[in-house]
Amino acid sequence: MADPQAVRAIFEHLPGVFFFVKDAQGRHIAANSETFTRFDIESEDELVGAMDEKFFPADWAKAFREDDQQVIRSGKPLINRLELWYNEQRNLDWFLTTKLPVRDRRGKVIGVMGITRRDEDRMRHYDVREVTAAVQYARQHCGRNLTTAELARAAGVSERHLHRLLRTTLGLTPHELLLRTRIQSAAEALVRTSTPISEIAIQHGFCDQSAFTQQFRKRTGVTPRQFRVRNRG
């Protein structure tokens, strides 16, 4: 594998570009100083060996790892994937990420390297505006189980067109976007409040705690109760 520190050097001179390298297990190997700032860490010691869960909500970290594994399995790059990342105010915002396979001297893929950046021209494109409208509507109504038809109307497009847009930009179906949005909001409630899990389930459009637990564990790898204990700890 090429020295990630040497590759990183060029990205120290590109403001607004966040460079990272991860191994096949998803552990961070290297990053540029812009990434340190965005992750709110001071040194590489806090980065090396850490998984995305250290810096992002569990649901988004899982989505990032799925993209990483896609690159590792296929050996093909992932170009300009629209995804959520932290902005300067430490709020989640839209960015474009490109990931490339990292190969050893024999050509075997052993990790991924990539860059994340804003692209103002892309963000002004009508497709992205429509995706943003759909995501915002999903967030604003995460307390109930929206239909794809409702989401499409909010974005001003047909259901078929919305499906294509979300698959192209986010790699998600409308149903999965709606479900992830509700789970993300529920995860925040688990950490920030003492509301019983059964009530959080109902407040986020799940028929009962059992259904909520099943979907939550499928996407985060832990139950809502485990998530609450771990993140409060």
Domains defined along the chain, listed by start: 4-118 (3.30.450.20), 129-231 (1.10.10.60)
125: three-class secondary structure by DSSP? coil
138: three-class secondary structure by DSSP? helix
pLDDT reported for residue 22? 96
pLDDT reported for residue 191? 85
CB atoms within 10 A of CB 48: 12
Regions of the chain short of the pLDDT cut 50: 1, 126
pTM (2 decimals)?
0.56
| Integer Cα distance of 151 and 163 in angstroms | 10
Reported as half-sphere exposure (CB side, CA atoms, 13 A), residue 103 has a value of 10
pLDDT reported for residue 38? 81
pLDDT reported for residue 124? 54
pLDDT reported for residue 62? 81
